[in-house]
Structure 1
């Protein structure tokens, strides 16, 4: 897979390139150190994945992602940053980034890139753990555009709070088997893979 790295620290970019190309399935075809250059290289090189930092002088990584995703919603953009600020996580989720992982979790970078390349969304544990508290700061999501029953929406809300099937069953006076059946139906309706994606789906429906 072909990768474009964007980071305003040249040492970080060089280190990432070395680490990533140690995996024979990854080829770094370009490196940019600012947002404008990132957009130009993306248009010229057509990488499979854009690996980009959040905070940069001038255009931020979020700004770059907004431009590219407005042109192609399927663009595979993975944020790699030292910052887990709530506002960045909110924006990354809202604009449709394929992932958000922290630089300090360097061992997860290559697996995350491969997951994004295969069509998955990847959000590190530090990000996933923030989702329930971030959701409580915002209004109830609007599910009107989806074919979901009130019971299904209730289950989604409980999943987003991090509850297990047993806890959901107790809260809604259902059997665990019934909750599992509902979960399968919900995931199929929304074309999602697992509970983590379902929690992210819930979060993205919030209005900020």
Structure 2
């Protein structure tokens, strides 16, 4: 029996996934959460083999939570289900500890296949993600600048790009203003940018934010 957790801020998506997965005798949905903080509590209180995790959620999103989830449950599989296409986030998230990445426009059967593959301790790579991985290995110089960012730098970058202040970011990520400012300086250097408006423009151009 594969024990699955579902993390998404939309009730209708959670309900749809629960109903679809529960129709298969080898899968049992053991719990749900609507944001990253609830996901951490879910993982703390339930034995989960594969966690289906949305990226964009109010409060703490999937990107913010993935490091803590991986620390709490190192053997748990994490399947990212996102509205963003693979080219924007997949490789970064796999490096951060995700076991697979699917766009929400995928066929339901792909989610089922991914859950079963990840439950075996393997990674699930769609042909599109596998191609991105091959391109990166073959042409590392072509990788976008944001691929250089650490997990924490990426979190700070996306929040700055969406207009959050240093103080707001510090509160959201439980960091001091000084630490957030240090991350901001580092990521600005890595991206060769000089202002928050530059960050926003870069993120929009790379389709990292809407």
TM-score range relative to shorter protein: 0.5 to 0.7
**Residues 29 and 71 of structure 1: is their aligned pair in 2 closer, same or farther, counting only changes over 3 Å?**
closer
Cα offset for 1:110? 0.7
Cα distance in 1 for partners of 2:89, 2:121 equals: 22
Q: Secondary structure at the match of 1:130?
A: helix
TM-score norm. by structure 1 comes to: 0.61
Cα distance in 2 for partners of 1:28, 1:72 equals: 17
Cα distance in 2 for partners of 1:91, 1:131 equals: 10
Could you tell me which residue of structure 1 aligns to residue 171 of structure 2? none
Could you tell me which residue of structure 1 aligns to residue 163 of structure 2? none
Cα distance in 1 for partners of 2:6, 2:91 equals: 22
The more displaced of 128-137 and 1-10 is 128-137
Could you tell me which residue of structure 2 aligns to residue 128 of structure 1? 130
State the number of aligned residues.
141
Larger radius of gyration: 1
Structure 1 unmatched ranges of 5 or more: 140-207
Could you tell me which residue of structure 1 aligns to residue 75 of structure 2? 74
The yes-or-no answer on 1:97 pairing with 2:98 is yes
Cα distance in 1 for partners of 2:36, 2:66 equals: 9
Could you tell me which residue of structure 2 aligns to residue 52 of structure 1? 53
Could you tell me which residue of structure 2 aligns to residue 31 of structure 1? 32
**Residues 27 and 54 of structure 1: is their aligned pair in 2 closer, same or farther, counting only changes over 3 Å?**
same
Q: Secondary structure at the match of 2:80?
A: strand
Cα offset for 1:9? 0.8
8 Å contact 1:62–1:91 — kept in the other structure?
Answer: no
| Cα offsets for 1:38-84 (capped at 9, x unmatched) | 11011001211111111112222122211121334322111112212
Cα distance in 2 for partners of 1:85, 1:102 equals: 7
Pairs within 5 Å for 1:7-26: 7-26=8-27
Cα distance in 2 for partners of 1:68, 1:138 equals: 27
Cα distance in 2 for partners of 1:9, 1:117 equals: 24
Cα offset for 1:85? 5.2
**Residues 115 and 85 of structure 1: is their aligned pair in 2 closer, same or farther, counting only changes over 3 Å?**
closer
Cα distance in 2 for partners of 1:100, 1:16 equals: 16
Structure 2 unmatched ranges of 5 or more: 145-190, 192-210
- RMSD value over aligned CA atoms? 2.3
| Cα offsets for 1:96-147 (capped at 9, x unmatched) | 21111222222211111011001110022232233344453249xxxxxxxx
Q: Secondary structure at the match of 2:98?
A: coil
